[in-house]
Chains A and B, each alone.
Chain A
Amino acid sequence: GQSLEQPSEVTAVEGAIVQINCTYQTSGFYGLSWYQQHDGGAPTFLSYNALDGLEETGRFSSFLSRSDSYGYLLLQELQMKDSASYFCAVGLLGSARQLTFGSGTQLTVLP
């Protein structure tokens, strides 16, 4: 089976930097994705890592270490609108490339 672990809650202030970690145990790992979900909304894609290293997309960066089965999402220059749930998801080898989602991290950005 697959399992992912990420912190349930993180709180930070506007302008700060926050890192959300994700560790996973899975067979047939293909890549690690990150999604953002605001209350009542659908998940939106943020970032994807298939290889080790850092991927940067504006204020958001994502890191992967396949040997450590570990990744993180880094959010810089936090804004109030970044308050949301953040999910890591592993993509699995196989014809359908299903995603298995972590339990989510609720980020609260304070003024």
Chain B
Amino acid sequence: GAVVSQHPSRVICKSGTSVKIECRSLDFQATTMFWYRQFPKQSLMLMATSNEGSKATYEQGVEKDKFLINHASLTLSTLTVTSAHPEDSSFYICSAKRQGPYQETQYFGPGTRLLVL
């Protein structure tokens, strides 16, 4: 199957700092990537849809100024959590969708565990 990587796998930061998470599709080009957040024992909640070369589309309730998304190339999307606070501590997972109108499979990265102290 397709491979999607995320970096870093885990990060601990102080409150008020910004954290950047990278998501890369390693063996295919992805015009669309998705960012999810998952709290313990809960489902994946879609935060935003990242489109290469255009602005991300954010889900209702997700602050676009706090969660900055940049999809600069067909293989890289970044999520920056700005001025992180303890309530932002979570498991952040990206996924990438292959090009093509009928491909339904999203390939997930291994996730980034963020802990804000």
Residues of chain A having any CB pair with chain B under 8 Å = 30-31, 33, 35, 41-45, 48, 50, 87, 91, 96-104
Contacts and interface: CB of A to CB of B under 8 A. Distances in A.
A101 B97 contact: no
B44 A44 contact: no
A31 B97 CA distance: 15
Instruction: Classify chain B: how many residues form its interface, as a range.
Output: 20 to 34
A71 B102 CA distance: 20
Contact of B93 (A30, A43, A50): A43
Contacts of A44: 108
A42 B57 CA distance: 23
25 contacts: A31-B104, A35-B108, A42-B108, A42-B109, A43-B44, A43-B108, A45-B1, A45-B106, A48-B104, A50-B104, A87-B43, A91-B104, A96-B49, A96-B97, A97-B32, A97-B97, A97-B104, A98-B34, A98-B49, A99-B34, A99-B46, A101-B44, A101-B45, A101-B46, A104-B43
A98 B42 contact: no
Contacts of B45: 101
A17 B31 CA distance: 39
A87 B109 CA distance: 16
